[in-house]
Amino acid sequence: MQADLERVLFDQATIVRRLDEIAAQISSDYRDRELTVIAILNGSLIFMADLLRRIPLPLRLDCLSVASYLGGLQTSGEVIFRQIALPDVAGRHILLLDDILDSGTTISAIREKLQTASPKSIRVCVLLRKLKERKQPADAHYIGFDIADEFVVGYGLDYCERYRNLPCIGVLKKELVAS
Ligand code: 5GP
Ligand code: MG
């Protein structure tokens, strides 16, 4: 699988070193507040598992399943909620976890939806943030790494549902990406 990468951006050791730092920051920020983590499936699964085990606070974990990419390289621009019931957020401090902040459509749609259920607070944590202009006013409080505006896979991120289990994050070889 790693042979399919043109370039590795972050190896596993680099990722978990950064997770230690973010986890310490989150643990300090939420030391006096009960935290509810909502992981956005499927992309944040690996990130979530490694991050949460570094946060020694009592917390609740929920998941939210949305789709916006429809398998390829381009976001469809529309966010589809795959669950009928949303996690219980009323009166809670919510930390949304997602793999990557790209156009911001996903995060802003989820924020907007959860906001209607009266949480005490909502913050966003992403492993990656693409450096680009965003039409949606979405940003994150906790960011693993800023990257250039290119398509990446690994550590939870897929291309047509493949490469999620790659332990590093990298850019696919051009010839493997359908244009
Ligand atoms: P946004 O709504 O911010 O445009 O996109 C967010 C979602 O699109 C992410 O949760 C992720 O599933 C997908 N996505 C955006 N950029 C990339 C990328 O470079 N690689 C992969 N594999 N998925 C991406
Ligand atoms: Mg995806």
Q: pLDDT digit string (tens) for 72-113?
A: 666 667 788 887 778 899 999 999 999 999 999 999 999 999
φ/ψ of 132, rounded to 5, equals -165, 170
Which mutation among 7, 48, 99, 128 tests ligand 1's pocket best, with the greatest number of atoms within 8 A of CB?
A: 99
Question: How far apart are the CA of 123 and the centre of ligand 1, in A?
Answer: 18
Query: Global pTM?
Result: 0.94
Buried/exposed code over 97-113 (b: 16+ C-beta within 10 A; e: otherwise): bbbbbbbbbbbbbbbee
The domain spans of the chain are: 2-26+33-176
Q: Which of 89, 92, 26 is nearest to 53 (CA)?
A: 26
User: What gap in Å lies between CA 92 and CA 36, rounded to an integer?
Assistant: 7
Query: Which CATH architecture best describes the domain 2-26+33-176?
Result: 3-Layer(aba) Sandwich (3.40)
109 Cα nearest atom in ligand 1:
2
Q: pLDDT digit string (tens) for 45-81?
A: 999 999 999 999 999 999 999 877 655 666 667 788 8
Question: How far apart are the CA of 5 and the centre of ligand 1, in A?
Answer: 18
Residue closest via CA to ligand 1's atom 19 equals 151
